[in-house]
Amino acid sequence: MGGVGNQRAIGLVITADAATQTVETGLTSINFFTLGANSMTTNSLVKIAANSNASGVQSFGVLGCSGFTNGDLFYVTVYGK
């Protein structure tokens, strides 16, 4: 992880849909993120991967999301450059 002084923090409100599993953050690289659920109907295991699309292919600055149900609402704070 890079120097803490060089970090940007971006807060996102995400409503999931089955067709879109990759979230563009606007960062060039994600160092870490925090997740908070608001309204989740998902009963299965959900997965969010930093710097990787939903297929597992490395893609800097994006979040790959899987296991969510249409309409699930959650908050993510992303830290990176």
- Phi and psi (nearest 5°) for 4? -65, -30
Distances (CA, A) of 59 to 24, 29, 30, 31: 10, 9, 10, 13
pLDDT at residue 2 in the model: 52
Q: What is the mean pLDDT of residues 52-80?
A: 90
pLDDT, tens digit, 9 for 90 and up, residues 35-64: 988 888 876 788 889 999 878 889 999 999
Cα 15 from chain centroid (whole Å):
11
Domain residues of the chain, as ranges?
4-80
Q: What is the pTM (predicted TM-score) of this model?
A: 0.81
User: What Å distances lie between residue 23 and 52, 72, 73, CA to CA?
Assistant: 10, 14, 13
Query: Over pLDDT 90: what percentage of the chain?
Result: 49
